[in-house]
Amino acid sequence: MAKCLSCGAPIDANLKTCPYCGAKIELPMSTQEQTHQESKKRDSVEDELDDMNRKDLKEYIDDHDLDILVMKSWSDDDIREAIRTELTRLKKYADTDDDAKIGCLSKLGCLWDWLIGIVVFIVIVAIGFAIFA
């Protein structure tokens, strides 16, 4: 299965646009071309971030649904660094093919998994007490 070059989502190779991010699907390229394109994209994002002020950086975080909470004490450079770190983390997440490595997709999802585990444990203990009591 092919991956979208923009968001890294698994897609059907016959599609012309990515159903997740709307990016145009291109034919697979060589490793050298891919490395060049990734560095060019990284440079353009860094240039884009360097040209932004605090308000624009916060809008960028909101527009891209990044999991960053901006503190008042942070400078613009701190915000840029947080954005770059989060984009790197998301890139690594997008590159994983194994669902077992993905883990929780959101904090709320982790909370629900934890609560379901607790409820299942309580039910099993209650059944055990009912059988052996």
Query: Does one domain contain both 34 and 18?
Result: yes
Distances 29 to 5, 34, 46, 97 between C-alpha atoms, Å: 10, 6, 24, 19
Amino acid at 41: K
Query: Does one domain contain both 47 and 4?
Result: yes
What is the mean pLDDT of the segment spanning 49-53? 88
- The number of folded domains in the chain is 3
The whole-model pTM stands at 0.42
Query: Does one domain contain both 25 and 11?
Result: yes
Percent helix, strand and coil across the chain, each to the nearest 5? 60, 5, 35
Query: Does one domain contain both 3 and 43?
Result: yes
Query: Does one domain contain both 47 and 1?
Result: yes
Query: Does one domain contain both 47 and 58?
Result: no
Range of the domain at 108: 104-133
Summarised one tens digit per residue, pLDDT across range 55-79 is 999 999 998 888 898 989 999 999 9
Summarised one tens digit per residue, pLDDT across range 80-119 is 999 988 888 888 777 665 544 445 555 556 777 778 889 9
CA-CA distance, 16 to 128, in Å (whole number)? 56
Give pLDDT, residue 10.
75
Question: Is 122 a residue whose pLDDT tops 90?
Answer: yes
Question: Is 48 a residue whose pLDDT tops 60?
Answer: yes
Query: Does one domain contain both 17 and 47?
Result: yes
Locate tokens 């409820």: which residue? Answer: 119
Question: Is 32 a residue whose pLDDT tops 60?
Answer: no
Residue 27 has φ and ψ, to the nearest 5°, of: -70, 150
Query: Does one domain contain both 1 and 47?
Result: yes
Confidence of residue 50 (pLDDT cuts 50, 70, 90): confident
